[in-house]
Structure 1
Amino acid sequence: MSTSSRTGKRGYHHGDLRNALARAAAQLAATGGPDAVTIRGAAREVGVTPTAAYRHFENQADLLEAARALAMDGMVAAMAGFLDQVPPVGDPVERALARLGSTGRGYIRFALEEPGVFRTCFTGGLRDADQPGMGEPAPYLLLGEMLDELVAVGYLAAEDRPGAEAGPWAAVHGLAMLLIDGPLAGLGETEREHAIDRTIDLVSRGLATGPRGRRTG
């Protein structure tokens, strides 16, 4: 994610203060998690007064929401990067499973490399769900596309598709949290990769309810 480049006090283009503050907030999240995102802190990073920042963000929750949007962009970019590594040819079922697994690996890798930003992505309870832009997060939508592909190739039964995002997302997100904040945080690289492989394998097997899934799962 672009949060690795600090906003600092380098100024901003006229009329772009809101975006500069959002980028500064994302950087604060990268180093300190969601609790580190404050209007005063973002204003200090950009080099303006808190009063100027309040002209663009009503409160800390408003600023954190902007930082979360940037964090989600970074997460989706990481997942897309892993997706791009899947060859565009080969057995349709194997390719669909590889694409599903790649999104999970990208998700976990993002959590490991950007734990502060990852935590910020899922800071909840800030706004009402019916406000504009507060629908399903982009990783959820991307996962849905991968599940649709599994149905299209016959691996996942169509009748099992509705709501199927919950299980895979819970498994991958749970593992990510265990690796960055839980008892698995001390695993070595080999053990960590084994845990990721096993989790993705078990998720894939659990989705093998279609005609081709039953033959290959």
Structure 2
Amino acid sequence: MTAISGGKSGYHHGDLRNALITAAVELATDGGPEKVVLREAARRVGVSPTAAYRHFAGQADLLYAVKVHGQQALADSMEQAAAEAPRSEDPGEAAELRLAAIGRGYVRFALRQPGLYRAAFCSPHLISDEKEWGGVTPAGTEPEYRAFVLLTDALDALVASGRMPEGNRPAAEAAAWAAVHGLCMLILDGPMRRLPDPVREVVVERTVAMVTAGLIAP
């Protein structure tokens, strides 16, 4: 992400909305969704709050834009992890390796970008008429749902390859997502936050392995 410098020279003329989003993402990265304040984003960019309100109906709308950015960044991390995963000529094994990899990518993003991760799953009270997805299949086609689509595609590939019984497929995305997301929150805000790095890595690997094994079990 390109940092925005202070003052009006910090953004290109006509691109104030994106400049404000960038500033807000930086605020979230530093301190989570509660730090995303429209006035502070305007100050960082070097414009008045009045100018910022021409692009966002209120603070919740700005936070929603940060939420979307966080979801996209999460999907990027999952895709990168999948690209780095070991390869296999066997379709079933390849699908299993990909599922495990995107799970690791999910956790990796949460641990490296905790503020933005929390923002990705915050619940802004929108002033506009934005419609939020209810968290069930199928997700929308909007870019912010790409992380969930990556998961559903990986599960479908497991079934198509014969690695995962068709009877295990219903609600599998919800179970896998809940397990990995829950682990992230336990590490970030729960009793696992004090785990030494080596122990934490073992816990992450064990959780991903458990989820994968449970999904493909006969």
CA deviation string 1:104-154 (max 9, x = no partner)? 1111111111000000000025349x8357474322111101101110111
Q: Is the 8 A contact 2:64 2:124 kept in 1?
A: no
User: How many angstroms apart in 1 are the aligned matches of 2:205 and 2:126?
Assistant: 36
The corresponding residue for 1:195 is 203
Deviation at 1:44, TM superposition (A): 0.9
The corresponding residue for 1:21 is 20
Deviation at 1:162, TM superposition (A): 2.9
**SS at 2:157's partner residue?**
helix
* In the alignment, structure 1 residue 154 sits paired with structure 2 residue 166: no
Counterpart among 5, 8, 11 of residue 5 in structure 2: 8
User: How many angstroms apart in 2 are the aligned matches of 1:125 and 1:26?
Assistant: 14
Deviation at 1:101, TM superposition (A): 0.8
Structure-1-length-normalised TM-score: 0.88
Deviation at 1:18, TM superposition (A): 0.4
Matches within 5 A, 1:93-172: 93-124=92-123, 126-127=125-126, 131-132=130-131, 134=133, 136=139, 137-172=145-180
Q: Is the 8 A contact 1:7 1:20 kept in 2?
A: yes
What code does the residue aligned with 1:104 have? G
What code does the residue aligned with 2:156 have? D
User: How many angstroms apart in 2 are the aligned matches of 1:59 and 1:131?
Assistant: 13
> Which has the larger displacement, 83-92 or 113-122?
83-92
Deviation at 1:40, TM superposition (A): 0.2
The corresponding residue for 2:69 is 70
Q: Which runs of 5+ in 2 are unaligned?
A: 140-144
**SS at 1:84's partner residue?**
helix
Identical aligned residues as a percent: 46
Mark the CA change 1:184 to 1:155 in structure 2 (over 3 Å): closer, same or farther.
same
User: How many angstroms apart in 2 are the aligned matches of 1:183 and 1:132?
Assistant: 34
Deviation at 1:97, TM superposition (A): 1.1
Deviation at 1:71, TM superposition (A): 1.1
Q: Is the 8 A contact 1:99 1:146 kept in 2?
A: yes
The alignment covers a number of residue pairs equal to 206
**SS at 1:14's partner residue?**
coil
Which of structure 1's runs of 4+ aligned residues deviate more than 3 A?
130-136
User: How many angstroms apart in 2 are the aligned matches of 1:179 and 1:118?
Assistant: 13
Q: Which runs of 5+ in 1 are unaligned?
A: none
